[in-house]
Structure 1
Amino acid sequence: MQELLPGALTAISLSASLLLLPTLLSQAGADFMGVYTASMLMAIIGSLVLGRLGLPVAAAPGTALTAWLVTVIILAHGVSWQMVLFMGAAVSLVLTLIFAFLWQRGRLNRLEYLFPPCLREGLRGGLGLLLIFQGAYQGHLLLPSPTGLLQLGSLSDPVAYLSLTGLIAMLALMAVKNRLAVFGSVFVTGLLAFIGGFWVLPDAPFFLPEGLDKTGFQLIFMNGWENIRVCDYFNLTIFLLLYLVFTSWGSLTALAGTRLPKDGCMGKSLLALSGLSFVSCLIGSMPMTAAPESAAGQSIGGRTGRMAYFTAAFLLLLLFAEPTLKSMASFTAILAPALVGAGLTLLLGMQNVFGGGLADKVSAGLLFLLLPLTQNIAAGLGAACIAYTSLKILVGESCEVSRALRVLSVVFLLYFFFGFWSIA
């Protein structure tokens, strides 16, 4: 039962993302309850699948990808949400077929060793910083600045000072080596918010899941395809392929790392996530990825697939508690310590990435910089991959760069020049 609390904390941390998904897609015309139900169901199934593979990692539809697709593709270009789901389903199906082919040939697991240690460890640190920035931003400790990128929040804001209180409690518990430090800080923050009247439970805290009939298989009614240029179909396809592959690979590497079993678990996980992504788009949600919030559960002792099982069990309870989740998410200080604690766990578990040569240091530094700023694992990994390959060749150490990594660097260059930038 030592995985029970880690599973609960992971589910609570993940709940904010699972509420953000229907909020974003409802802006594009999708049914809120339908997307919420579909996203929760896919997170439950995805977590069970990864738990079956022995990983202490939850799976969920990607919020960063959803935000980009809604703001750039749907709202800016006038494309329907059904069309975006169709594109997501098509790319996920193609990716599943490619992974299945590589799996039969015994080549899929080579992805685990494609990148050098500096990039693998840099991913862990970059993802940790991403979670810390998310927690500080949700806790109003960091705010957009009119003169720069960010500025410190004001302690006159109840969200800010309760977030800071929770973080101080968490660090104090960490200092005395209490393994429940993150869970305790979330509990303290939630209790103080409830006592202060900032978090109020709704009169009807539960509801029966509904709305799948308004989102399931709606992609067959796609429209707005005429608003996308022919070349942009190719660009969007390349973007989605690279995003799904390397976001899933990067998240699994950062979250599972040395806990990946040596029986082809990486290949199995990637194949499972691509297949689940296809199903997710069919029923009205977004493609799946390994959830970074899993680090919150790992921070209080989650080490095996049972953590993912308990996460799925708690998500099943939360499926019926949408009003309660909404009230909790409306006061974001409650979840801020969980995200910051998850980020600290990844940073503390990272090995030294700045002890190698210039290529190692620069590529790891790019991951540290770009992941928090872009919240796009594929973009950060692509920039780091290009920098590592280029610098190794320039200093005469091309023998240390595999042929596959060189080819991938060229693909990432195409991704930046023709896929990412032209659509954005």
Structure 2
Amino acid sequence: MATDVLTRTRGRVDAYFGVSENGSTMRRELMAGTVTFLAMSYVLAVNPAVLGDQGALGDKGIPIQAVFTATAVAAVFGTLVMGLWARYPIALAPGMGLNAFFAYSVVLEMGIPWQVALSGTFISGVVFFVLAVTKIRERILNAIPMPMKFAVGAGIGMFVAFLGLKNAGIVVNSDATLVTLGDFTAGTTLLALFGLLVTVVFLVIGWHGAVLYGIVLTAGLGIVTGLVDLPDGIAAMPKGLDQTFGQAIAHLPDAFTAQMAVVILTMLFVDFFDCGGTLIGVANQAGLLDEDGKLPRAASAFAADSVGTMAGAVIGTSTTTAYVESTAGVSAGGRTGLTAISTAGWFLLAMFCYPVFAVVAGSPEITAPALIVVGVLMSRALGEIDWNRLEYSIPAFITIVMMPLTYSIANGLAMGMLFYPVVMVAKGRIREVHPAMWVLTVVFLGYFFFLAE
């Protein structure tokens, strides 16, 4: 009797997710989810390091244990929604780049409290959801020229890598030249260089989870050399959400300002196109696109991403989005939402391992190599830009270079968006500029004249 029930249950699960239909097996799906988790679990250490109050933000940051718990919960919730609703082998978690924008541009540069920044994140998720379930999604996707989409991704990669180099002590402040080479005799800098070296080696030889393995080895060497403290334990009950849960809703009235409008627009823009690119890229690798090259159940997939963002903001973390590391699970055979559910299960278990991740999150020299490598991976979009077409390459270059040099993703995005219509008009191609681009031009002009410092 029990065998019959199990058989029927397996059959229903198979039918709902289309496991056999997509040429996979349940065992393969579960293993693929494990591979995806290994590839992206570094977020549990890096996100608290970026957003937490023990890093560059200091007392302006979110309590670090709350960030860790919120990161894990957001990953579990968002990934489950993607797996159960959209049924794709794609995992979600607080996004790299978007968390840097939240921390360094919004909280540190603009001086906006993290509670209000969470409200902005929530609003961006709501707007994203509306776009996802309507035909406006397609119009927006077509409104922004591809070179600018690639430039934003590459620029964020440069910014994230710059943060990593700074945290590692490889690049330091200089009164004469703004930045210069750091002290390579310092123990923490040497530890970061070791971490960068081993992580790069692991990536080059094709190890799934290369970033995680690099973090583990770097932390181990740090503990052996006395540069990093031993963790207080291995497991602990999740806590800290009482400090962050609901803050996004409570501070919603404070988010309706001109300054926050630019913040929300930037969050929405980056998440919308990052999600779209990730979804198409992962689905294409998995062979899940239809005959026309379009993504089936696209509305559900986009909506799942937006729901993850809203939930993550309410819980207490920056924008939750689809992770390109999901390709690791796809390469291991994952084809359905069961892969995502498996990944969510691992994040649920990891939620109880705060003492271990806390040591890593509180040591910037350990997480710095991860930021540098993630920046490199994001910057691959540079190769997609047609550098021989000046009407594309000039605004793209300005977008990319302004992000790290002004220490602001918003500044780079705004500057590039201002230059694009100008060069297109000069080229005699004004008809190719979408009306939405002119609206953005006005918005970002206002940003520079009235809001940017």
Q: Contact 2:44–2:357 at 8 Å: present in 1 too?
A: no
Q: Distance in 1 between matches of 2:276 and 2:305?
A: 14
Q: Is the CA contact (8 Å cut-off) linking 1:273 and 1:288 kept in structure 2?
A: no
Q: Secondary structure of 2:172's partner?
A: strand
Candidates 102, 117, 133, aligned match of 1:65: 102
Q: What's the counterpart of residue 270 of structure 2?
A: 247
Q: Deviation at 1:235? A: 0.5
Q: Determine the structure 2 residue equivalent to 1:236.
A: 259
Is contact 1:31-1:211 (8 Å) kept? yes
Aligned runs of 1:33-52 on 2, under 5 Å? 33-34=65-66, 36-50=68-82
1:401 aligns with 2:430: no
Post-superposition Cα deviations, 1:249-269, rounded to whole Å, max 9, x if no partner, equal 243256455335523766545
Look up the match of 2:169: 140
Distance 1:245 1:359 in 2: 25
Q: What is the match of residue 197 of structure 1?
A: 226
Q: What does the per-residue CA deviation read over 1:68-93, in whole Å, with 9 as the maximum and x for residues that have no partner?
A: 444466xx58x7x656655655x347
Listed as ranges, the gaps of 5+ residues in structure 2 are 1-30, 284-288
Describe the shift of the 1:302–1:6 C-alpha distance in structure 2 as closer, same or farther (beyond 3 A).
farther
Per the alignment, do residues 219 and 141 of structure 1 end up closer, same or farther by CA in structure 2, a change over 3 Å counting?
A: closer
2:244 and 2:426 mapped to 1: Cα distance? 51
Residues 329 and 302 of structure 1: is their aligned pair in 2 closer, same or farther, counting only changes over 3 Å? farther
**1:290 and 2:321 aligned:** yes
**Does residue 45 of structure 2 align to residue 15 of structure 1?**
yes
Shift of residue 406, structure 1, vs aligned partner: 2.9
Does the CA contact (< 8 Å) of 1:135 and 1:336 recur in 2?
yes
Gap change, CA 1:374 and 1:268, over 3 Å in 2? farther
Change (3 A) 1:17 1:399: same
On the 8 A contact 1:202/1:327 being kept in 2, the answer is yes
Q: CA deviation at 1:361?
A: 0.9
Are the counterparts in 2 of residues 143 and 152 from structure 1 also a CA contact under 8 Å? yes
Partner Cα distance (1:220, 1:116) in 2: 34
Determine helix, strand or coil for the equivalent of 1:150. Answer: strand
Partner residue, 1:113: 142
Secondary structure at the aligned position of 2:94 is classed as strand
Distance 1:158 1:147 in 2: 25
Using a 3 Å threshold, how does the CA distance of structure 1 residues 59 and 177 change in structure 2: closer, same or farther?
A: closer
> Aligned partners of 1:306 and 1:374: how far apart in 2?
42
For 1:246-325, list aligned pairs within 5 A.
Answer: 246-253=269-276, 255-256=278-279, 258-259=281-282, 262-263=294-295, 268-283=300-315, 285-290=316-321, 294=323, 309=341, 311-325=343-357
8 Å CA contact retained: 2:312, 2:319: yes
| Contact 1:131 1:342 survives alignment (8 Å) | yes
Change in CA separation of 1:9 and 1:139 when aligned onto 2, cut-off 3 Å: farther
Please say if residues 19 and 36 of structure 1, whose CA atoms lie closer than 8 Å, have aligned partners that are also in contact: no
1:161 aligns with one of 190, 199, 208: 190
Query: Structure 1: how far apart are the matches of 2:403 and 2:328?
Result: 20
CA contact (8 A) 1:13 1:338 kept: no
**Which residue identity is paired with 2:102?**
L
Moved more, 346-355 or 127-136: 346-355
Relative to structure 2, which stretch is displaced further, 270-279 or 336-345? Answer: 270-279
Q: Report deviation, 1:132.
A: 2.4
Kept in 1: contact 2:395–2:420 (CA 8 A): yes
**C-alpha RMSD of matched pairs (Å):** 3.9
Q: In structure 2, what is the Cα distance between the partners aligned to 1:170 and 1:186?
A: 8
- Alignment check: 8 A CA contact 2:208 2:328 kept: yes
Cα displacement string for residues 229-282 of structure 1 (whole angstroms, at most 9, x for unaligned residues): xxx943134223302211212432564553355237665455444444444444
Q: Distance in 2 between matches of 1:234 and 1:417?
A: 15
Task: Give the partner amino acid of 1:340.
Answer: I
Change (3 A) 1:340 1:242: same
1:41 CA drift (Å): 1.5
Distance in 2 between the 1:98 and 1:21 partners?
27
Amino acid at match of 1:23: D
Taking structure 1 as reference, are residues 19 and 309 closer, same or farther at Cα in structure 2, changes over 3 Å only? farther
Q: Is the 8 A contact 1:181 1:300 kept in 2?
A: no
CA distance in 1, matches of 2:210, 2:248: 44
Distance change >3 Å, CA 146–CA 92, structure 1 → 2? same
Instruction: Give the SS at the match of 1:335.
Output: helix
Separation in 2, partners of 1:355, 1:192:
42
Deviations 1:284-324 (A, max 9, x none): x2452437xx4567589868677755553443233222222
Which residue number corresponds to residue 342 of structure 1? 374
What percentage of residue pairs aligned between the two structures are identical? 24
Number of aligned residues: 404
Counterpart Cα distance in 2 of 1:186 and 1:93: 31
Tell me the distance in 2 between the aligned counterparts of 1:30 and 1:388.
36
Structure 1 unmatched runs, 5+:
none
Of 360-369 and 232-241, more deviation after overlay is shown by: 232-241
Distance, in Å, in 2 between the alignment partners of 1:94 and 1:3 is 28
2:415 corresponds to = 383
Change (3 A) 1:120 1:14: farther
How far off its partner does 1:326 sit?
A: 1.9
- SS of corresponding position for 1:337: helix
Matched, 1:368 2:400: yes
The one-character-per-residue Cα deviations of 1:13-39 (angstroms, maximum 9, x if unpaired) are 442213543428983597665554334
Query: Is the 1:366–1:383 Cα contact (8 Å) retained in structure 2?
Result: yes
Residue 111 of structure 1 deviates from its aligned partner by 2.6
